[in-house]
Amino acid sequence: MSSANNWKHRIYVLNRVMSKKFYRFFGNRNMRWQPHSFYSIKPGYHHAISAEATINKDELQHSVYELALTRATGMNNPSILDIGCGSAYKLVHMFSQYKIAGVEVEPAFSWLKQQYPQHVWTLFDEAVPTALKGDLVICSNVVEHLANPDDLMEFLEDIPFQYLVISTPERDLVAGEKDFGPPANTAHFREWNGAEFRNYLRRWFKVEEHHILQNKCVTQVAICSKRS
23-66 pLDDT, tens digit each: 999 988 999 988 899 999 999 999 999 999 875 556 678 999 99
Supply the pLDDT for residue 7.
Answer: 84
User: What is the pTM (predicted TM-score) of this model?
Assistant: 0.94
CB-based contact 178:24 (threshold 8 Å): yes
Could you say which DSSP state residue 54 is in?
P
One DSSP character per residue, 77-106 reads: S--EEEET-TT-HHHHHHSTTS-EEEEE-T
Residue 114: partners with Cβ closer than 8 Å, 6 or more residues away: none
Q: State the Cα–Cα distance between residues 204 and 156, nearest whole angstrom.
A: 9
